[in-house]
Structure formats: C-alpha cells, structure tokens
C-alpha cells in the first residue's frame, strides 16, 4: 500500500497487479489515452475561450474570474476607486467625412494607444464608448494609490495622444484632440446584467462626475477635483516625482444631474508647465 501511495504522489494515475492480462493492460492504456486526449482538448478549448473572452473584456477581469469564485466575482460591492473618462473632440463630425474602413482604422489605432497607457498604470479598461472610453483604477484589484495611478495615466494618455496625432498628421491622416475627466469616490462595483450577458463595471455618482468632467474638458485638457488631487498626492513615497506637476483652478462648475456645484481643477503635465 505504501508503494502505491508513493507512486500516486509522484504522478501515477493507475496500477496493475500480477498476474498481468493483456486485455486488461490494453483496456487501461486505451482509457488513459482517451482521458489524456480529453484533457488536452479541454486545455485547448479553455485557452481559446480565455483568448476570445479577453478580447471583449479587460484581461484584469479575466484574471479575477480565474482567481475568485464566480459567486464572489458576480457580487456587487462598495469600494472607493478612481474613474477616468476620455473622449475625442469633434470626432462625430469627422466621421461624416470618413469611410467606414477609415473610421474603424482610426478608432482601432487610437484605442490601441489608450489601452496601453491605461494598463501600464495598472488601470482596467472598463468599456469603449465610440470615440472614447471609461477606465477604472482600484478595481477589480484593490489599489491604495488608485487616484495617483489614474492622474498619472491621464497625463501619460495626453502625451501619447499628442504623439499619435503628430504621427497621423505627418501621414496626411485626420485626427482629433482628446479631453479627459477623472474623479475619486465611492462606487458600487461588480458584475450585473442578465443570465446570458453580464458586464463588470462601476456605478454611482463618481462615474457621472468623471463623465461630466470629461465633457467639460477642452481639447487636450485634463479635469479633476481637489478631492481627487489630494487623494493622488497623499503619502507620495519619498523621491517619487508625480507625472502631473501643476494644478490650475477652474472655479466652480455646474453639471447635469449633479445638484451641488463642483470645484474643478485642470492638470498640467510637465511639458506644459511654465
């Protein structure tokens, strides 16, 4: 018995006792070959499904689903995070002048740059919104420095977008500047939907606020709030130089579906700092 346990512990899956019978050996070998083929098929199928699924949702969501029980993943929960919205200015008008193929190429090229900057900062691309997008920092994986990551990403996004516009302009292709809004706050985050279609996202006041800030941002501008700025600069490690170097007050603004006036500030990246 001890030898059998030892054999199983090192990877054995079956055993045969003497006297050996050819028919039994062949049947067992055929069974294990069938099981091996089934395992390989399932591995290939899982890889294919994971690849396909990850093209429609953030890779971070895929990783979360693999690490957490599905019931826990589907559960909505309250947490503080930072929401970032970005939108191309005037793209709807430009789209009227482009062919469907040109629209697709422009958006795919634009979003490829944007996704890279968001994920580089540890954010999750929540959804594409036509000529813009929504990103989350602090979910599905918790990040104590989500505000700093989001504002740093905002600057990186604008800088990358300016390079992207310069490259396309040099090629004779049309492009549009970008506006960004970011806000920190408590949200309800998780998966919701129907039995055959679910979406992982954040819901709540801060989502609306970040969207309104994005809508109010001028071309090439990043708008946020003093609360978000303070959260981003809180406990900055010694020697760490924020990529967002200066803030300019824009005064108080009123936004649709937000009762109180909002103190708004603009973030100036290093290259724009006097």
Here the CATH number for the domain that contains residue 160 is 3.30.70.1230
Q: Taking the CA of residue 262 as centre, how many other CA atoms within 13 Å lie in the half-sphere pointing to its CB?
A: 26
The reply to whether 75 and 2 lie within a common domain is no
Kindly state whether residue 261 falls inside one of the protein's structural domains. Answer: yes
pLDDT in tens, 129-166: 989 999 999 988 889 999 999 999 999 999 999 999 99
Kindly state whether residue 59 falls inside one of the protein's structural domains. Answer: no
- DSSP per position, 71-100: HHHHS-EEEEEEEEEEEETTHHHHHTTS-H
Q: How many domains in the chain?
A: 2
Q: Exposed (0-12), middle (13-18) or buried (19+): which is 3, by Cβ within 10 Å?
A: exposed
The reply to whether 75 and 112 lie within a common domain is yes
82 vs 147: CA distance, rounded Å: 6
Mean pLDDT within 181-191? 94
The reply to whether 221 and 97 lie within a common domain is yes
Kindly state whether residue 178 falls inside one of the protein's structural domains. Answer: yes
Kindly state whether residue 64 falls inside one of the protein's structural domains. Answer: no
Q: Exposed (0-12), middle (13-18) or buried (19+): which is 46, by Cβ within 10 Å?
A: exposed
pLDDT in tens, 238-267: 555 555 568 899 999 999 989 999 999 999
Q: pLDDT-based confidence at 112, cuts 50/70/90?
A: very high
pLDDT in tens, 165-177: 999 999 988 889 9
Kindly state whether residue 63 falls inside one of the protein's structural domains. Answer: no
Range of the domain at 10: 1-52
Q: pLDDT-based confidence at 27, cuts 50/70/90?
A: confident
The reply to whether 44 and 128 lie within a common domain is no
Count of other CB atoms within 10 angstroms of residue 26: 10
Q: Is the pLDDT of residue 84 over 90?
A: yes
The reply to whether 30 and 152 lie within a common domain is no
């Amino acid at each position: 018995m001890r030898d059998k346990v030892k054999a199983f512990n090192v990877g054995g899956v079956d055993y045969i006792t003497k006297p050996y019978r050819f028919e039994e050996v062949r049947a067992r070998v055929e069974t294990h070959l069938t099981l091996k083929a089934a395992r390989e098929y399932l591995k290939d199928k899982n890889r294919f499904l994971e690849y396909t699924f990850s093209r429609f949702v953030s890779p971070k969501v895929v990783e979360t689903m693999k690490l957490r029980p599905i019931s826990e993943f589907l559960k909505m929960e309250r947490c503080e995070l930072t929401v970032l919205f970005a939108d191309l200015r005037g793209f709807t008008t430009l789209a009227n002048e482009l062919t469907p193929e040109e629209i697709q190429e422009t958006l795919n090229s634009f979003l490829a740059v944007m996704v890279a900057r968001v994920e580089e900062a540890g954010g999750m691309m929540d959804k594409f919104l036509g000529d813009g997008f929504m990103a989350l920092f602090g979910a599905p994986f918790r990040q104590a420095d989500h505000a700093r990551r989001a504002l740093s990403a905002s600057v990186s996004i604008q800088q990358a977008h300016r390079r992207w516009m310069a490259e396309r302009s040099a090629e004779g292709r049309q492009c549009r500047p970008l506006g960004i809004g970011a806000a920190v706050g408590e949200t309800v985050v998780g998966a919701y939907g129907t039995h055959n279609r679910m979406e992982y996202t954040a819901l709540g006041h801060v989502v609306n606020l970040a969207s309104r800030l994005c809508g109010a941002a001028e071309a090439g501008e990043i708008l946020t709030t003093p609360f978000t700025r303070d959260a981003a600069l809180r406990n900055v490690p010694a020697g760490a130089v924020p990529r967002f170097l200066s803030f300019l007050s824009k005064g108080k603004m009123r936004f649709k579906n937000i009762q109180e006036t909002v103190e708004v500030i603009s973030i100036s990246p290093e290259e724009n700092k006097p």
